A and B are shown apart, each in its own frame.
Chain A
Amino acid sequence: MPMPRDEHQPVPEEPAPLRVIGTRPPLYGAVDKVTGRAVFGADISLPGLLHGKVLRSPHAHARIVSIDTSRAESYPGVHAVVTARDLPEGAGERFERDNTLAGDKVLYVGHPIAAVAAESPHIAEEALALIDVQYEVLPPVLDVRRAMEADAPLLHEALRTWSLAGQAASPSNVAEHLQHVKGDPERGFAEADVIVERSFTTTMVHQGYIEPHASTALWHPDGSVTVWTCTQGAFPVREHLSSLLHLSMARIRVVPTEIGGGFGGKASSYVDVVAALLARKAGRPAKVVMGRDEVLKATGPTPGTFIRVRMGARRDGRIVAAEAELCYEAGAYPGSSVGSGADTIFACYDIPNARVDGYDVVVNKPRTSSYRAPGATPAVFAVEQVVDELAERLGIDPLEFRLLNCAREGTRRVSGQPYPRVGFAEVLEAARAHPHYRAPLGGPNRGRGIAFGYWGNWAGQSCCTISVNADGTVSLLSGSVDVSGALTGIAMQAAEELGLELEQVQVRVADTASIGYTDVSAGSRTTFGTGLAAIEAACDVIAQMCARAARLWGVPVETVSYDRAAFTTSLDPTKRLSFRELAAQLSATGGPVMGRGNVDGDVLRRGGAPGLHIADVELDPETGKVTVLRYTAVQDVGRAVHPGNVEGQIKGGVAQGIGWALYEGCFYGEDGQLLNPTLLDNKLPTAMDIPEVEPVIVEVPDPVHPYGVRGAGETPIVPVAGAIANALYRITERRMERLPMTPAYILERMGVI
């Protein structure tokens, strides 16, 4: 199969029957995971290993006056103490460097300041208490709107707002003001018969992966270093190490371990540089494993937000104008997900006139990181309630209203790009046809809500190699780490393309010395982008083996083809070699065959994945407790390579969305202390809290992928809070303007308390 398919070529009505794609084989690595053999970040052990611990700021905002490490250094069992002074002069980008080990200021409670390597984690912890840091405590700013005010405390004296007008002259906590405008919003609102405007606030939420970050560094006598780490991307970790240590990439090998959840949070590097510094200074390998409180205090939550949405529609049900203002907390350093929030907020709809303003704002909380469809969930929570209210005011069924206004092929997004083929309407129609949408609620204090969300998948860059073994099996190396089954989906695409059974494909994650640059496993890109690389590597293998067959048979290579696991030539029907037969002859016909796939998926124009969710909830009017009774998630996934994995992504994403909607959050005191740094108080959903989510897979193939694959992993979290809010409205007749929608908040909205 050629790859990639020309985007202008129509997708065949009846795709060729597939043998591997669309089946549900066991997850790669599952046996190791159920027997405890899988090696995760903290499981790395080396002879002479030291244990590192990190000293963290007790203040949300302070100037560091002095650091005295001498008592810690002389503590028995301590082998090294490091601070920012141990980083090479001028190394790395300033904010990256300061977030790794603080320079002259600390900007959040938990900000790393120093680290100790000792014989045991306990000794290292004891030594941390002996490091004397003098602070000049400064007033913190914790709320995004307060941080935007002119007289707010400044986190970075040198930060100037970037906008379309260039860089501002005076310092500000607003790192960026972005804007998208389409059509004429003022004229659009003038045409509207109904206008709804509401404002929403959402709190920071942590990704909540169960495995804390862990990194182990070993320096070699030649000055090179090996780092084992649990990460969503070994190559970005290598780049980060190279930049902050002033070390050639050829001297760094990053070995990704199994990863115990990431959801975007392990796309950032926190302790890798610290482990490397400690190991180098101590002259022994060092491992740094974060505690849960460190994870919750100092690793990337997703931004808290303030979002204002205004939308107008005509009596005929057409949305004619929309505007949104999104203010996102970046945490201590610029780089919130406001960009993708702004990109996503009106993404489901065809709106002729719209304006979106986004603000990336620093506050005295940890630097935010990606979290599953970064920036989209708060935006969709806001917009879907406004859309729901418009439909109600117009007396139109909420699903019909969305169908009337949904984006279609060619619709130009507010952020500029026109859509390729994406199954917005197909998803809505599948939801409308689903029995859940019309099923009776079956009791009082129950409500049903829907919400429509979208995530525009990232493709990124990926590498794979495929080596042919003499027995006709192949060994596939992936540059992507295995996040929740992605490796199985990548191997399945290679097997499909090669005409082999999945059992004949051995698949492993490569370290950074063994394959070319591959982006993080994130952005719903891995099965798509690294799948493309696997397909390209498979095509390369087939091309090389066709040449071998041609040589064996003495025929021109153009006459040789490969189909159904057999090589044939059009010149001689008696000539036929199976993949296995030819593999056995490689040694005698020119040596090994290794195929390569190295792709930049971003050069392909492509669409993302829309999802429509239907939520039934029950509210206890006395306590405010919400129970999710029934949940259906309809999603366009292009083609489900492994439907079981896709369903798993949908179920897991919805579970996270339910937690975000109802109780999860990082709550801070006025002094910037995180009030809930445990999993008892930062409650994640348990088996008692999540109903059996029903995924409904819609397959509208993505024309740029040979098998039509879209990314599937992130969309499932996007509509959840909005769907639950709309369900709660049916019960309470109150719009929910805050996340999480805790019992106290719901009762407050109802006027009960």
Chain B
Amino acid sequence: MDGKVRVQATINGQPVEFLCEPRQSLLECLRDVLGLTGTKEGCSDGNCGACSVLLNGRLVNSCLVLGVEVDGQEVTTVEGLAGPDGLHPLQQAFIDHAALQCGYCTPGMLLAAKALLDREPEPSEERIRQWLAGNLCRCTGYDRIVRAVQDAARRMRREADAHAEG
């Protein structure tokens, strides 16, 4: 296919410019064009959630978004979760609760959980389970993932409180 399109976006807080074919999905652009292979492909039809990323803070399956659509937008991937001070509370909680086994669904699961906690800092277990139902995990049976998200929520609320007091 002729004619690549120039896309300017903010990815994980950094301005990024890249060329992509109009038919390439955001998932393909992240992985094959930008080398951000932390985002995984499990089905490419929106059913497994392994490719979950945040688009302007909103949870999307990056296989269902075209690369050209992110022009001028902000994208957050798993590579953007950890900060200079270390792991994101969700990442640490996933390790502490053994909320991963093979680790393939983990990046998508982390982004999905972040999208939830960013808008609902204190979700119930039911709400977490419902929210994460778009992200398939075949190894864990999910309960440790739910526990990790609950624990991360607690840590994030504590951090937010400390920040507010400080």
Contact = CB atoms under 8 A, between A and B. Distances in A.
Interface string B43-57: 111011010000000
Contact of B138 (A42, A210, A648, A687): A210
B29 to A, nearest CB: 12
A289 B41 CA distance: 10
B67 interface: no
B64 interface: no
Given A36-B37, A37-B38, A122-B21, A684 B136 contact: yes
B132 interface: yes
Contacts of B21: 120, 122
Given A261-B138, A648-B144, A678-B43, A210 B130 contact: no
A691 B129 CA distance: 10
A36 B77 contact: yes
Interface SS, A side: loop
Contact of A27 (B31, B95, B136, B138): B95
A91 to B, nearest CB: 32
B23 A34 contact: no
A30 B37 contact: no
A483 B50 CA distance: 19
Contact of A34 (B31, B47, B106): B106
Contact of A211 (B40, B79, B101): B40
Contacts, number: 176
A30 B103 contact: yes
A27 to B, nearest CB: 6
Contacts of A27: 95, 98, 100-101
Interface string B126-146: 001110111111111111111
Nearest to B48: A679
A652 B139 contact: yes
A293 to B, nearest CB: 8
Contacts of A687: 128-130, 132-133, 135, 137, 142, 145-146
Contacts of A139: none
B105 interface: yes
A120 B20 CA distance: 12
Contacts of B136: 210, 679, 684, 686
A428 interface: no
B143 A648 contact: no
Given A31-B87, A211-B102, A484-B102, A292 B78 contact: no
Interface in A119-151: 120, 122
Contacts of A26: 95-96, 98
B42 interface: yes
Given A263-B138, A687-B128, A688-B130, A30 B95 contact: yes
B24 to A, nearest CB: 8
A29 B47 CA distance: 27
Contact of B103 (A29, A208, A655): A29
A34 B87 contact: yes
A505 B42 CA distance: 33
Contacts of B143: 651, 690-693
A78 to B, nearest CB: 14
Interface string A31-63: 111111111101101000000000000000000
A651 B82 contact: no
A680 interface: yes
A31 B101 CA distance: 12
A30 B100 CA distance: 8
A651 B144 CA distance: 9
Contacts of B38: 35-37
Interface residues of B, number: 57
Contacts of B142: 655, 685-687, 690
Nearest to A260: B104
B42 A210 contact: yes
B42 to A, nearest CB: 4
A37 B106 CA distance: 11
B11 to A, nearest CB: 13
Among B40, B45, B101, B103, find the residue whose CB has the most chain A CB atoms closer than 10 A: B103
A212 B27 CA distance: 15
Given A210-B136, A261-B102, A652-B140, A292 B79 contact: no
Nearest to A49: B32
Contact of B81 (A35, A484, A693): A35
Contacts of A691: 143
A485 B36 CA distance: 25
B3 interface: no
Contacts of A291: 43-44
Contact of B41 (A29, A42, A693): A42
B69 to A, nearest CB: 17
B103 A33 contact: yes
B91 interface: yes
Interface string A471-485: 000000000000111
Given A30-B95, A30-B103, A34-B91, A292 B43 contact: yes
B125 to A, nearest CB: 9
B45 A680 contact: yes
A52 to B, nearest CB: 14
B100 A34 contact: yes
Contacts of A122: 1, 21, 23-24
B94 A34 contact: yes
Nearest to B1: A122
B59 to A, nearest CB: 15
A562 interface: no
A329 interface: no
A258 interface: yes
B110 interface: yes
A645 interface: yes
29 contacts: A24-B98, A26-B96, A26-B98, A27-B95, A31-B95, A33-B103, A35-B91, A36-B39, A36-B77, A42-B37, A209-B138, A210-B136, A210-B138, A211-B102, A258-B102, A291-B43, A483-B102, A484-B102, A652-B138, A652-B141, A679-B45, A679-B47, A679-B48, A680-B47, A686-B134, A686-B135, A687-B129, A688-B129, A691-B143
Given A655-B142, A656-B138, 14 more contacts: A26-B98, A30-B103, A31-B95, A35-B91, A122-B24, A211-B104, A258-B104, A292-B48, A484-B102, A652-B139, A678-B43, A684-B138, A688-B129, A690-B141
In the A-B complex, list the 9 residue pairs whose CB atoms are closest, starting with the nearest: A36-B38, A260-B104, A33-B103, A651-B141, A655-B141, A36-B78, A292-B43, A679-B47, A484-B101
Interface of A: 24, 26-27, 29-40, 42-43, 45, 120, 122, 207-212, 258-261, 263, 289, 291-292, 483-485, 644-645, 648, 651-652, 654-656, 678-680, 684-688, 690-693
